[in-house]
Amino acid sequence: MGEQLVRSAEGGVLDFSQGNQTLSISSDTPIKALEIKYRGSLTAQMTGYQMAQAPEQEFTHMLIYSLNPSQAQQNLSLIGLSSDFELLEIQAAFGDGQILTSYSVRTEQPKQFRVYPNFPNPFNPQTTIPYDLAQTGQTRIQVFDIQGREIRMLVDAPQSAGHYMVEWNGLTSDGLSVGTGVYFCRIMSGEQQAILKVMMLK
């Protein structure tokens, strides 16, 4: 299998190929995070990246993110693919963009609005929030402090149905770094919403 995913306004070019029990992923821009959904099994060992797996009913959901975004790599390899390995979806977070590019290997759109846990959490200095939209609509993602005051608007724009990731770099709308503590991210699309509790730990 060999694929090239075209450049978008917010990201770079993502190339991936599968062969000899290895899934190779490369980009012209440092890869800050990957979200992969697959069937089968694999072994992932990458220096400088943290990985978390969450088996679901029909597939496994894996999150891979750089421990130090300034040292993110352009080439990553997942090894030990089982003979029945099938890549279903892949999303990538590139460079320094706030809205992170999302790609899907399969054409099927999400069937429901869903927000996944942010990673890393606790975080310092930034964290990534993956989410799915089942319908096109106005999307707003806001960050609130523990007193309920809005401190940052991450997204306020129409978005099509699909898979997305958004990054918060720990700054307020005024460009100030937030302190250690708990914050709340509210993700709204149409009449649906979800709230995530995130923690900055310095």
Query: Does residue 95 lie within any of the structural domains?
Result: yes
Residue 148 Ramachandran class (φ > 0 left, ψ -120 to 50 alpha, else beta): left
Q: What is the pLDDT of residue 135?
A: 92
Query: Does residue 136 lie within any of the structural domains?
Result: yes
166 contacts: CB under 8 Å, gap ≥ 6: 98, 99, 100, 128, 129, 131, 141, 154, 155
Per-residue pLDDT, averaged over 162-187, amounts to 92
Distance CA 130, CA 157 (A): 16
Report how far Cα 33 is from the mean position of its chain's Cα atoms. 6
What CATH number has the domain bearing residue 183?
2.60.40.4070
Q: What is the pLDDT of residue 95?
A: 56
Q: What is the pLDDT of residue 13?
A: 66
Query: Does residue 170 lie within any of the structural domains?
Result: yes
pLDDT greater at residue 67 or residue 173: 173
Dump pLDDT digits (tens) for 70-114: 788 888 888 888 888 888 877 777 655 444 444 445 446 778 898
Query: Does residue 108 lie within any of the structural domains?
Result: no
Dump pLDDT digits (tens) for 28-64: 778 888 888 888 888 766 788 888 787 777 788 888 8
Could you tell me if 81 and 8 lie in one domain? yes
Domain's final residue, options 100, 122, 143: 100
Dump pLDDT digits (tens) for 120-150: 889 988 888 888 899 999 999 999 999 999 9
Could you tell me if 81 and 43 lie in one domain? yes
What CATH number has the domain bearing residue 83?
2.60.40
Let me know how long the chain is.
Answer: 202
Could you tell me if 6 and 96 lie in one domain? yes
